[in-house]
């Protein structure tokens, strides 16, 4: 079973539970050797943005300081890394680069949740502009991967939640996205948060056809627990089922993330 995880949230994002230390203790108890905290990135917000799933900028220093303290406290028991899960917002990437340097973050992962702004109708899981869903999602993905900043692509198939059905167009877009990730040397994440949350009555992720394509294209794949509760580290049934499924496709997930600077 995997013993690393680089997709871990904190309650600063407003939809997770437990203290930072609770996650570390749970990971140690579950036999993990390395974890990375990658809470939802704060962003300088536009006046109309909701910013309902992320920490505020004011909490950024506390986030980094808390994890650094845990690194020292538990250094003999587990390796702890500090990161963020970030969108690609073109007008705010310079701020992100400066923040990565300022706080000496180990890595960031791509969480392509919103197109340009954080509002409900621009969330790729419930995208209002169905006509441009696939084009916008691919455009943001390619632009993000072209930066060379992201060490992994979290839940790359989250867009399927906005589909009524899988289509030829979704197939071709997914192929282009996966080829871009492969050629950019960025592993795609098989996201266990999607497994736990279900499909809300529609198409859910991880979506099987997407991962069949990943296997055929030869993408590197990493399993992400997407922990929003310390107990997610103890969800061995979901972890083992994910490993079994990926192995059935001929995919051997990587367990060590290569950090890009």
From CA 112, how far away is CA 91, in angstroms rounded?
A: 15
The answer to whether the CB of 186 falls within 8 A of the CB of 224 is no
Helical (H) or strand (E) element with 101: helix 93-103
Query: 261 in a domain, yes or no?
Result: no
Collapsed DSSP state (helix, strand, coil) of residue 223: strand
Helical (H) or strand (E) element with 34: strand 34-40
Got the DSSP string for 170-211? HHHHHHHHHHHHHHTT-PEEEEHHHHHH--TTS--SS-HHHH
From CA 149, how far away is CA 20, in angstroms rounded?
A: 25
Containing domain of residue 157, as a range?
4-248
| pLDDT tens by residue, 28-52 | 999 999 999 999 999 998 988 878 8
Query: 71 in a domain, yes or no?
Result: yes
Number of domains in the chain: 1
What CATH number does the domain containing 46 carry?
Answer: 3.20.20.140
pLDDT at 72: 98
pLDDT mean by block of 10 residues, the chain; 261 residues = 98 97 98 98 91 92 98 98 98 98 98 94 94 98 98 98 96 98 98 86 88 98 98 98 98 97 73
Going by C-alpha positions, the residue among 210, 95, 220, 85 that lies closest to residue 158 is: 210
Query: 260 in a domain, yes or no?
Result: no
From CA 73, how far away is CA 63, in angstroms rounded?
A: 16
Query: 200 in a domain, yes or no?
Result: yes
Query: 91 in a domain, yes or no?
Result: yes
Query: 69 in a domain, yes or no?
Result: yes
Beta bridge partners of 160: none
pLDDT at 34: 98
pLDDT at 71: 98
Going by C-alpha positions, the residue among 112, 81, 110, 86 that lies closest to residue 256 is: 81
Query: 244 in a domain, yes or no?
Result: yes
Query: 257 in a domain, yes or no?
Result: no
């Amino acid at each position: 079973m995997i013993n690393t995880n680089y997709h871990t949230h904190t309650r600063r994002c407003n939809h997770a539970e437990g203290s930072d230390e609770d996650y570390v203790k749970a990971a140690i108890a579950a036999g993990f050797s390395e974890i990375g905290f990658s809470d939802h990135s704060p962003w300088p917000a536009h006046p109309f943005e909701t910013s309902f799933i992320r920490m505020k900028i004011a909490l950024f220093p506390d986030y980094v300081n808390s994890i650094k303290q845990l690194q020292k406290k538990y250094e003999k028991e587990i390796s702890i890394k500090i990161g963020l899960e970030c969108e690609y917002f073109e007008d705010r990437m310079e701020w992100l680069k400066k923040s990565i340097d300022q706080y000496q973050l180990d890595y960031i992962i791509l969480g392509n949740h919103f197109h340009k702004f954080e509002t409900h109708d621009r969330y790729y899981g419930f995208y209002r502009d169905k006509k441009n869903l696939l084009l916008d999602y691919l455009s943001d993905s390619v632009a993000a991967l072209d930066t060379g900043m992201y060490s992994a692509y979290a839940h790359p198939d989250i867009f399927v939640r906005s589909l009524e059905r899988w289509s030829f167009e979704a197939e071709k877009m997914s192929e282009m996205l996966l080829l871009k990730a492969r050629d950019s040397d960025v592993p795609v994440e098989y996201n266990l948060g999607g497994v736990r949350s279900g499909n809300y009555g529609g198409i859910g992720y991880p979506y099987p056809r997407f991962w069949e394509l990943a296997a055929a294209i030869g993408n590197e794949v990493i399993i992400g627990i997407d922990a929003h509760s310390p107990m997610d580290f103890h969800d061995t049934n979901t972890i083992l089922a994910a490993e079994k499924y990926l192995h059935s496709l001929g995919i051997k997930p990587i367990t060590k993330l290569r950090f890009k600077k």
